[in-house]
Copies of this chain bind each other. A is one copy, B any other.
């Protein structure tokens, strides 16, 4: 099978980790029968500075013809810059990548093993970015819309349910496992936002009440309490489903539990396309030193393959990464080691 993959390194260490992801895909054993065509694409702050556009139309259109993609990271200004808007937020909407899937796990031999997946709605909530500002006698006031739809909530909860079932199957096949599962925890703040988060809650629960999910236990957590529990008993969670912004916050929190954002992958998933994206940012402070951790991107490449139904290839990559981490010999500085990006990559490549 031939797969066309768009590569968007973006800014900062995005340019160091995306090539690593590419090399892992290229090094997959021929026996898998996969052939990759890579297309280099632009987006991000540097692109904006050069061209006045952060997400070139060409990038979007090329991706529409690809099977999947890898997105590095982009530097975003914290102040509003006229014409600039985050390309990853825009891409998620343009390509209808309705789910952001973020598995967070330690190696099975960890002292406190954690193995959860955060499933984040990826297109609405406050990310619709409909804002306005007006003047009042007491100064400026700004408003943003938080939008939650029954449709998107239903879809994301169904995705969470599918993932919980898939994990159940993997466990049943004897893979080392930590969780009883399958469990989906619906996160919201409906005690304050009874209509918006209330809708997320009822639509999610309705979707998960489908008979095909009958083996799944469904629980709910108010988002503040979810963050508390995430830190107090992370081993208790299997799949967590959340609206966009809470999902953003929860996945960074969960990443802290496994030691580094440099380990945590994500996939932006649509009906027929998956875009792998490491959870970390562009990290300008370490850019150019060759010490960024390529694992989040390598795992994102595997996650992308999973959603393109290439589970065997994905499993090979996961196993190589886990073996690298379990041995703990070539470990990048974010994890307390001193290995360079290239050394971590080489160690993973030889294990494929």
- Listed in ascending order, the chain A residues whose CB lies under 8 Å from chain B are 76-80, 86, 89, 126-127, 129, 131-133, 136, 138-151, 154, 188-196, 198-199, 201-203, 220, 222-225, 227-232, 245, 248-249, 251-253, 255-257, 261, 281
Contacts and interface: CB of A to CB of B under 8 A. Distances in A.
Contacts of A261: 228
Contacts of A224: 248-249, 251-252
A77 B202 CA distance: 13
Given A79-B198, A142-B199, A151-B139, A126 B192 contact: yes
A189 B245 contact: yes
B255 A126 contact: no
Contact of A86 (B192, B223, B252): B192
A313 B6 CA distance: 64
A188 B151 CA distance: 29
B245 A231 contact: no
Contact of A126 (B193, B228, B257): B193
A143 B145 contact: yes
B194 A80 contact: yes
Given A190-B79, A253-B228, A147 B151 contact: no
A136 B152 CA distance: 13
Contacts of A136: 149
B256 A231 contact: yes
Nearest to A130: B143
A200 B306 CA distance: 40
Nearest to A251: B224
